[in-house]
Amino acid sequence: MKNVYLTGAGPGDVELLTLKAHRVICEADVIIYDRLANPEILEMSKDGCEFIYVGKEDGRHSVPQDEINNIIYQNSLKHNIVVRLKGGDPFVFGRGGEEALYLYSKGVEFEVIPGITSAISAPAYAGIPVTHRGIAVSFRVVTGHESPNKKESQISWDNFKTDDTIVFLMGLHNLSKISSKLIEIGKSKDYPVAVISRGTTKKQQVVVGTLENIVDKSKGIPTPALIVVGQVVSLREQLEWFRG
């Protein structure tokens, strides 16, 4: 059997790995991985498994996507079982789709193994349900990487006027712009926000605040971190359960 597996590593807690991801990690000839919330996962591999790191080192640029695509492709020619391991879910802001398209263009067989995304699991470990009857009937997962000041934003900020939950990934450095933008579209200054850092791991930190004070309150919090905006954040007072 020869295959490339675009595999979700889950958000950090190693027990949130799926059984299927666990199986292919144990069988892999090579694992091509990014900075993972939990590097313990790599220890599950068999003797002789090769590891190729393609993530971002602090202060350095990440490997360009074209190069990553090529690394996956070249390894698919050399090995039977290639695992491309990504934090959370490979198709939630993971560029897994781009890698799959590249493999398709080269005629390489691949499978996608979904993972538990940080977008729902970090809030869950913080005691914040992303939907809740009577409070939020939907949730959106939005890139926080795009600055709200950008002239041609692809984000429809006007959609955020409701009380539905918004989870921003990759948004910590834009938190101040995101908060101001949400106030600008009409949310109150005391609207609930949480920042969750290193969610589901022993190092999880949660800061709860409002659109007005969250920037100050979360200063210096380490990445990876995500932002949850919504009335559901208030449920944490009663639902906080994770002790790390």
Place of tokens 């990876």: 224
Nearer to ligand SAH, 192 or 224 (CB): 224
Query: What are the C-alpha distances in Å from 152 to residues 71, 156, 157, 159?
Result: 33, 10, 12, 16
Query: What are the C-alpha distances in Å from 67 to residues 54, 62, 134, 223?
Result: 9, 10, 47, 25
Cα 122 to Cα 107: distance, rounded to the nearest angstrom:
36
Of 117, 165, 174, 218, the one binding ligand SAH by CB under 6 A: 117
Q: How far is the CB of 110 from ligand SAH (least distance, A)?
A: 17
Amino acid at 162: T
Nearer to ligand SAH, 75 or 200 (CB): 200
Element (H, E) at 226: strand 225-229
Place of tokens 């599950």: 44
Query: What are the C-alpha distances in Å from 58 to residues 119, 168, 223?
Result: 23, 21, 11
Cα 168 to Cα 171: distance, rounded to the nearest angstrom:
6
Catalytic: 13? Answer: no
Tell whether residue 225 is a contact of ligand SAH (CB under 6 A).
yes
> Which of 2, 46, 56, 161 is flagged as catalytic?
56
Q: How far is the CB of 200 from ligand SAH (least distance, A)?
A: 6
Q: How many residues bind ligand SAH (CB under 6 A)?
A: 23
Nearer to ligand SAH, 87 or 192 (CB): 87
Tell whether residue 226 is a contact of ligand SAH (CB under 6 A).
yes
> Which span sits near ligand SAH by CB under 6 A: 69-77, 83-91, 106-114, 181-189?
83-91
Tell whether residue 89 is a contact of ligand SAH (CB under 6 A).
yes
Residue whose C-alpha is closest to residue 136's, from 151, 149, 113, 120: 120
Catalytic: 170? Answer: yes
Nearer to ligand SAH, 76 or 121 (CB): 121
Nearer to ligand SAH, 81 or 119 (CB): 119
Span 94-113, contacts to ligand SAH by CB under 6 A: 94
Residue whose C-alpha is closest to residue 225's, from 192, 198, 205: 198
> Which of 29, 44, 106, 170 is flagged as catalytic?
170
Contact 76, 100 (CB under 8 A): no
Tell whether residue 9 is a contact of ligand SAH (CB under 6 A).
no
Active site residues: 34, 56, 170
User: Which residues contribute to the site for ligand SAH (CB under 6 A)?
Assistant: 11-12, 37, 86-89, 92-94, 117-119, 122, 169-170, 196, 198-200, 224-226
